[in-house]
Structure 1
Amino acid sequence: MKKDEYSFTQVEPGVWHIVDYRKDSMYLVEGEREALLIDTGMGEGDLKALVNSITKKPTSVVITHAHWDHIMQADQFEKVYLNHRDLPIIELFKLKVPVQRFMDVSEGCVFNLGGRFLEVVEVPGHTPGSIVLIDRQSKLLFSGDAIGAGHTWMHLPGCLPLAVYLESLERLLQIDGFEKIYHGHLAESKVFDVQHLKDLIEAVRLVTEGKLVGQPYSFGNFEGLYVTHRSAVLVYDPNNVR
């Protein structure tokens, strides 16, 4: 796939999974009145034209977190929401995105698409402003990288301590509103269930308690350690546990 190409597949009623050349995942969720695009990936094509080919309804954008593979091409859309706690992440990685246009979105905000509601929950950890969106009626959660994508990356610059991340995940688990978890890199891993979230929580807990110690992680550009616990693979910075 070329850098300016996208592919898409309908994965649920009114939900399309869009993939760019790097296998970054975006989700277009359609209600009776409006649509919401979750993340904008890293592709260099006309993402807005693709979205308009899927739905004719007015479409806003919400970014789950401010990493480069989730936020590029956001400038093609008029209404873009981002938790402002992630603005320092944009500065940290020197991303060229229209920061001044990003409207803040926070815990408790609800996107009313007409007969379909997406509720924002903050899950600080992977980044300070990471959010997930829950469609309680359809039992779906859109997580970006807050629950990882097979390998949960907590070793990047700007990640919060594992102890903080653990609190975020435990709070999320208490929300009884989802069964399927659509994450930020679906082409690289399957749709998660609640058990995967429980496995990830246990992996983080074991590392924070010193009961599980990782091995060197060789994938990607950032050094870290990784552990495997049941279905979860956690990558972390041993100097950023507490």
Structure 2
Amino acid sequence: MSHKIKIIILLCIASVVAHATQPIFSNKDITATEIEGGVTVLETSDKTTLYLVEGDSAALLIDTGTSIADLDKIVAKLTQKPFHVVATHGHPDHIGNIRFFPEFYMHPGDTVLSTPQLKEYNGRVLPIVEGDRFELGGRTLEVIHTPGHTPGSITLIDYANHMAFTGDAFGSGQLWMQLQPQIPFVTLIESCGRMIEIMAEKGVDKLYVGHYPYLKRPLGIDYLIDINLAARAIDSGDTASAVPFSNEAMLLRHGTAEIVFLPEVAGLRQLTPKRVMLKLDDVHYGEGNHAVPPRWNRLIDYLKTNHLKANLGIIGYSLQSNRTDFFRWLQQTDSIDGIEFWNHGFHNRTGLEEPGEFEQDFASQQQALHLTDSLCIAKTGITLHAWGPHWTNCNEFTDSALATIPNIQLVLGHQTLPVLNHYKGLRIHETLEMEYPFHNPVYNKFLINYLGRWRNCNTFYLQGHPNSWDDARWKEFEKIIERLKADGTQFINLSEYIANPDGNCQ
């Protein structure tokens, strides 16, 4: 391609981009710009924001700004389609111009705000709640109730186009939580968690916020995570880095997000602490003069230093050896308060071409369980009270085989394990992954699931393979643990769960 042709192409692209961002309407109060197909942002002189979303047959005006002359006529110029009006919440900078419209939609939770605009409004306030939809013809926006900033804040989600309109539910870089009525931070944390889950699971990647002029771009999931973590810090009282915002309020920054809050709400600790079992797999003997691979000693030192409880899975074949140094290591580690061992089968599969030991017949599975159980007692004096399978599947014989090992009181997972009829002990299958893929801890991916889909799971196990973690992976593991500790997580061992199994996922 010649240099001249490249220049022409670049100029054409620049022309298209410039044209796409040119205002399609502007006066002293407002500037309207099409930012995506069927989405126009209306930015006001006082930096409030309205959005006009169009489908094939209808349109939706999201919010009305503070003070815009003849807003109804402006909207009629921007679209020839019939349109509805919806308020993301009831603050004056979002319902300031409802007087121009005979009716508008708002969540009933915000009728308690009693703003002058609502008191003086003579039209109809139509209630809108979770799950309601605006059908615009080839385009649907669904209502999600996201309280926090106000009791009735909503988010409108366009799943097909991977976008959401959030108003002030999560702020626009800065979220105001100092206003009345005060909403518990645990409510905001739940709203953030729901939205994080939706973004991760449904592919929503753009948040069009209530004060677009400050940003000139949509926000993404990273911002929502930062708001969530800032809210958690305020709930826990971790606000030493906060700075004054006004005579009454403080401002806390976390990453890309800021929250303004009243000091008296910090440290209320309304967030329910979670119970977590660290399930760490594949303990076996080391090479040469090492009783175990050195990374296991790094783990034990970390657990002791941080006063953490953990549960380590022994691979049974390692107990068939004559490695007395390994047996002493197991005994010494077992004597550490809070650390327990569990039965991880006899021999984990090394390749896809061979069946796993818990994919075989009853006799083979019983032998694998019994060998690990009996060898551990004989060589170390340690009784194993739980079992967890390898990365292979289980089958219909696993249940009967487990029932023959009376020591096993708890089964750790496995989604493929059939219904347990013969085995009468406990089972916990709620596992929050921290390795993506296996053997590779990734803090950010853990965080998305922890704050989102798993936010209401109060007891789960966290599975890992410490001997596979190089220094970079180890740092990711440390970040995961520090996050859990910051939220007041109770780390428990097998015995504690067996004694009190209450608190599984809701």
> 2:78 corresponds to which residue?
54
Q: Residues of 2 paired with 1:44 and 1:141: CA distance? A: 24
For residues 86-110 of structure 1, the C-alpha deviation after alignment (integer angstroms, 9 at most, x for no partner) is 0111x1x443442761100000001
CA offset at residue 159 of structure 1?
3.4
Q: Residues of 2 paired with 1:53 and 1:41: CA distance? A: 17
CA offset at residue 55 of structure 1?
0.5
Aligned residue type for 2:262: D
> 2:132 corresponds to which residue?
109
Q: Residues of 1 paired with 2:190 and 2:262: CA distance? A: 17
CA offset at residue 239 of structure 1?
2.3
2:53 matches 1:29:
yes
Match of 1:154 among 177, 182, 193: 177
> 1:127 corresponds to which residue?
150
Q: Residues of 1 paired with 2:53 and 2:120: CA distance? A: 23
Q: Residues of 2 paired with 1:3 and 1:94: CA distance? A: 26
User: Normalising by the residue count of structure 1, what TM-score does the alignment of the two structures yield?
Assistant: 0.92
For residues 97-144 of structure 1, the C-alpha deviation after alignment (integer angstroms, 9 at most, x for no partner) is 427611000000010000000000001110000001000011011000
CA offset at residue 6 of structure 1?
1.4
Match of 2:213 among 180, 184, 187: 187
Change (3 A) 1:124 1:53: same
Gaps of 5+ in 2: 1-25, 269-506
For residues 48-83 of structure 1, the C-alpha deviation after alignment (integer angstroms, 9 at most, x for no partner) is 111111110001000000000000111212341000
Equivalent pair of 1:5/1:20 in contact (CA under 8 Å) = yes
Larger radius of gyration: 2
CA offset at residue 207 of structure 1?
1.5
2:230 matches 1:206:
no
What secondary structure is seen at the aligned counterpart in 2 of 1:42? Answer: coil
CA offset at residue 4 of structure 1?
6.2
Q: Residues of 2 paired with 1:134 and 1:160: CA distance? A: 23
Match of 1:216 among 228, 233, 244: 244
Q: Residues of 1 paired with 2:122 and 2:196: CA distance? A: 31
- Alignment RMSD (CA, Å): 1.8
Alignment of 1:56-71 (within 5 A): 56-71=80-95
Gaps of 5+ in 1: none
Q: Residues of 2 paired with 1:56 and 1:46: CA distance? A: 16
Match of 1:12 among 29, 36, 44: 36
Identity, % of aligned positions: 37
CA offset at residue 203 of structure 1?
0.9
Compare the two structures and name the one with the higher helix fraction.
2
Equivalent pair of 2:101/2:123 in contact (CA under 8 Å) = no
Change (3 A) 1:237 1:3: farther
Compare the two structures and name the one with the higher strand fraction.
1
What secondary structure is seen at the aligned counterpart in 1 of 2:73? Answer: helix
Higher deviation after alignment, 24-33 or 182-191: 182-191
Which of structures 1 and 2 has the larger relative contact order (alpha carbons within 8 angstroms, sep 6+)? Answer: 1
Equivalent pair of 1:87/1:99 in contact (CA under 8 Å) = no
> 2:195 corresponds to which residue?
172
Higher deviation after alignment, 35-44 or 206-215: 206-215
2:253 matches 1:228:
yes
Equivalent pair of 2:235/2:265 in contact (CA under 8 Å) = no
Equivalent pair of 1:34/1:57 in contact (CA under 8 Å) = yes
Change (3 A) 1:101 1:3: farther
Equivalent pair of 1:152/1:235 in contact (CA under 8 Å) = yes
Higher deviation after alignment, 162-171 or 114-123: 162-171
CA offset at residue 44 of structure 1?
3.2
What secondary structure is seen at the aligned counterpart in 2 of 1:172? Answer: helix
